[in-house]
Amino acid sequence: MKPTIAPKKKPAKRAVKTGSIEHKLMKLKNRIEGDQTSAPKHIDREWVEMKLEDVRNNVVLDKGIMLRCNDLWRKYD
């Protein structure tokens, strides 16, 4: 008797595509929340959440917003 071979399972679909702007903003938000500094970071987190909602509502982010995101990545690195 030949052993039966089970079909390969497909990987689970992600809620957000890896590498998308939404995914990068979510990673930035998580980085801000995980940072253990005493500085007031709620303003930055709320700003990122607001831009995340804009992306989910299909609003195009301009260059100034992306530059601010880059500054936040450097700040919470």
Structure tokens at 36: 């253990």
- The answer to whether position 12 is within a domain reads no
Q: Which residues in 43-75 are b (16+ Cβ under 10 Å) and which e?
A: ebbebbeebbeebeeeeeeeeeeeeebeebeee
42's tokens: 């709620």
Within a domain: 8: no
Please work out, in degrees rounded to the nearest 5, the angle formed at the alpha carbon of residue 49 by the alpha carbons of 69 and 74: 25
Looking at residue 20, what is its pLDDT? 92
Instruction: Tell me what pLDDT residue 21 has.
Output: 92
Residue 40's Cα: distance from chain center in Å? 21
Question: What is the count of structural domains for the chain?
Answer: 1
45 pLDDT more than 80: yes
* pLDDT band (50, 70, 90) for residue 6: confident
Which residues form the domain of 56?
21-75
